[in-house]
Amino acid sequence: MKTSIATVSISGSFPEKLEAIAKAGFDGIEIFEQDFIASDYAPRDIGAMVRDHGLAITLFQPFRDFEGLPEPYRSRAFARAERKFDLMADLGAELMLVCSTVHPAAMGGIDRAAADFHALAEIAAPRGLRVGFEALAWGRHINDHRDAWEVVRRADHANLGLILDSFHTLARKIDPETIRRIHGDKIFFVQLADAPAIEMDLLYWSRHFRNMPGEGDLDVTGFLRAVLATGYEGPLSLEIFNDQFRAGLPRLVAQDGYRSLIDLMDRVRRAEPALAVDLPAFPAPKPVQDIEFIEIVTAPETAREVGDFLTALGFSATASHVSKQVTRWQQGAINILVNTQGSGFAHSSYVAHGTTVSEIALRVPDAMAAQARAEALGIAPYRQTPVSGELDIPAIRGVGGSLLRFVDDATTLGQIWDLDFTAAKPTAKGAGLTRIDHIAQTMAYDEMLSWSLFYHALFDAQKAPMVDVVDPDGLVRSQAVETGALRITLNGAEARRTLAGRFVEDSFGSAVQHIAFASDDIFATAAALAAAGFPILQIGGNYYDDVEARFGLDPALTVRMRAANVLYDEDAGGQFFQLYSLTRPEGLFIEIVQRQGGYRGYGAPNAPFRIAAQKRATRPAGLPKF
Ligand code: MG
Ligand code: MG
């Protein structure tokens, strides 16, 4: 089963696209005619260039407005097709996509269209070419794959087949199960694309908002299951029209595309094991059981500040690494490592980002399996030279170049703290923090899809709908992804002047912007923090007047919240309380949350007030030390 991608899906010049597509692991490309016309290369040279990259041309597309035309348009359409057949011969392309007509003069009728396609296939046959018919969701007369299939069936020609495109079927909410009735050998080509669920004109939605399978909300898995159930064995090709991708780095977009395709095929074979999916075996996604530790890297000069901050937050330094400048801090079930080693991966993170989260260690059912799945998805492993006597913990590259480590009960977990660290001293009383509730990772907006795909493919993480957060200086998009005990909020900054945008700029790329800890009693935690001199973000009085009225809160509760700078939200499931620290000079800050009942969110309605307060508190002169 060949993997393929349409050249229109990624940015760059034609040679750049080929390079990126070949590197990502694809077997072939759909040549999008505009891409070819825009290049300066002759058709034969393009064909040779494609083959030199080890790629095949899987499809030439699109040929528009062909069927159902009256004369003189009809003769002209055939003449145009013959010119394209000549071009295809030069390119070395063997299959042409004809999409259903939107021509104002085109007439309807399945038989009329079938007759035109039979005639076209008659011309293609002696040339050794084939024609595939695709129903556009906005086609004038044919906009449903079931009608396109009826045209192909009635035309009854060996050189004519059907082309299916998940977007056109799913965007019109046509049940993909209807595909199971089509004969697999008459499906010539399959295009795959996802899209976010937004109400929008179909054509505009398709041309600008398609995304990789797994990045959107369409049931592409159900679609591909139905396709493969027909016995279809041809190429699986991505055809993604997306403004962001056309502006993105070719290499990254191609890599995400390949990852999404592998993940999709894996989902299909797990959902329907009877189907023949041509994909090497690799481990299934498993939810994260816990966050074992978070490592923060800083310089020796600032280690004390960071230590004072953690102490005021109720953490105790309990142990040190046996050979590295790493201190273990504990509270509740939380482990924070502070790394001041002047070499190695953490140090490089410090050089790039300043004081930052350099590693997140996740407890999973099987660490080696998680690593193997990551590698199958084209996620780069991180390997270091193991120091004898210390654990070699599997790791991969995560957001912003930070590391994600995998630990499990069987192989590593019991030993990390015993083998690599000195015996832990007892912890102090603490401030009532129990565990890590979520981690917020901030990135440029156009990287957001890439990272939600990363977590979705690696862990089968569930995605919450994207929400807009208003920063006084622009918009930030936020999306939560969740897999077992790991909850991450991805924040995409569009504007530089937003708090998130400045963070991305100041930290040279995306990274962890805040860590949220859970407390069972946020007011007790707030009192302990205040007593310890922890720098709590002050929230203005207007907020409390508003929130009391908005939710009809007991004024006595609002008084407590106001005194403790605690913010409030609720949903159908329950209540949510949160408070924030001031922002460190590098932009990192801490959040403390208390969830009551089944509250599922992250306090997004409070984000504008939190951001405004942070901006007020972060004045250029006299930056708060912590
Ligand atoms: Mg298509
Ligand atoms: Mg948060």
Q: What would the pLDDT profile of 49-82 be if each residue is shown by its tens digit?
A: 999 999 999 999 999 999 999 999 999 999 999 9
How deeply is 533 buried, as exposed, middle or buried, from its count of CB atoms within 10 A (0-12, 13-18, 19+)? exposed
Dist. CA 150 → ligand 1 center (Å): 18
As assigned by CATH, the class of the 290-423 domain is: alpha beta
Dist. CA 471 → ligand 2 center (Å): 15
Dist. CA 163 → ligand 1 center (Å): 8
Dist. CA 488 → ligand 2 center (Å): 9
Dist. CA 591 → ligand 2 center (Å): 6
Identify the DSSP state of 219: -
Dist. CA 46 → ligand 1 center (Å): 22
- Ion ligand 1 nearby residues (CB, 5 A): 165, 191, 239
In one-letter notation, the amino acid at residue 249 is L
Q: Which residues contact 71 (CB under 8 A, 6 or more apart)?
A: none
- Ion ligand 2 nearby residues (CB, 5 A): 440, 516, 591, 602
Q: Are 193 and 167 in contact (CB under 8 A)?
A: yes
Q: CA 379 to CA 457: how far, in whole Å?
A: 10
Dist. CA 547 → ligand 1 center (Å): 48
Dist. CA 241 → ligand 1 center (Å): 10
Q: Which ligand is nearest to the CA of 513?
A: 2
Q: CA 69 to CA 78: how far, in whole Å?
A: 10
pLDDT for res 407: 93
Dist. CA 165 → ligand 1 center (Å): 5
Q: Which ligand is nearest to the CA of 171?
A: 1
Dist. CA 206 → ligand 1 center (Å): 9
Dist. CA 329 → ligand 2 center (Å): 21
Q: Which ligand is nearest to the CA of 469?
A: 2
Dist. CA 622 → ligand 1 center (Å): 57
Q: CA 618 to CA 462: how far, in whole Å?
A: 34
Dist. CA 29 → ligand 2 center (Å): 41
Dist. CA 594 → ligand 2 center (Å): 12
Q: Which ligand is nearest to the CA of 578?
A: 2
Dist. CA 606 → ligand 2 center (Å): 10
Q: Which residues contact 622 (CB under 8 A, 6 or more apart)?
A: none
Q: Please list the ranges in the chain whose pLDDT falls under 70.
A: 386-389, 412-414, 495-497, 506-510, 619-626
Q: Which ligand is nearest to the CA of 441?
A: 2
Q: CA 346 to CA 359: how far, in whole Å?
A: 8
Q: CA 278 to CA 93: how far, in whole Å?
A: 24
Token pair in block for residue 279: 């994909």
Ordered by start, the domain boundaries in the chain are: 3-271, 290-423, 433-618
Dist. CA 438 → ligand 2 center (Å): 7
Dist. CA 440 → ligand 1 center (Å): 36
Return contacts of 620-624, CB within 8 angstroms, 24+ apart. Answer: 623/585, 624/535, 624/582, 624/583
Dist. CA 137 → ligand 1 center (Å): 10
DSSP string, 187-205: EEEEEE-B-------HHHH
Phi, psi of 163 (to 5 degrees): -115, 130
Dist. CA 599 → ligand 2 center (Å): 14
Dist. CA 601 → ligand 2 center (Å): 9
pLDDT for res 624: 44
Which DSSP helix (H) or strand (E) runs through 103? none
Dist. CA 100 → ligand 1 center (Å): 10
- Bridge partners of residue 596, in order along the sequence: 575
As assigned by CATH, the class of the 433-618 domain is: alpha beta
Dist. CA 580 → ligand 2 center (Å): 9
| Residues 520-565: tens digit of each pLDDT | 999 999 999 999 999 999 999 999 999 999 999 999 999 999 999 9
Q: Are 50 and 21 in contact (CB under 8 A)?
A: no
Q: Which ligand is nearest to the CA of 581?
A: 2
Q: Which ligand is nearest to the CA of 240?
A: 1
Dist. CA 170 → ligand 1 center (Å): 12
Q: Which ligand is nearest to the CA of 489?
A: 2
pLDDT for res 45: 93
Dist. CA 112 → ligand 1 center (Å): 23
pLDDT for res 396: 93
Q: CA 364 to CA 500: how far, in whole Å?
A: 30
pTM: 0.92
Dist. CA 475 → ligand 1 center (Å): 32
Q: Say which CATH topology domain 3-271 has.
A: TIM Barrel (3.20.20)
Q: Which ligand is nearest to the CA of 191?
A: 1
Q: Which ligand is nearest to the CA of 61?
A: 1
Dist. CA 302 → ligand 2 center (Å): 25
Identical fold, 3-271 and 433-618 = no
Q: Which ligand is nearest to the CA of 604?
A: 2
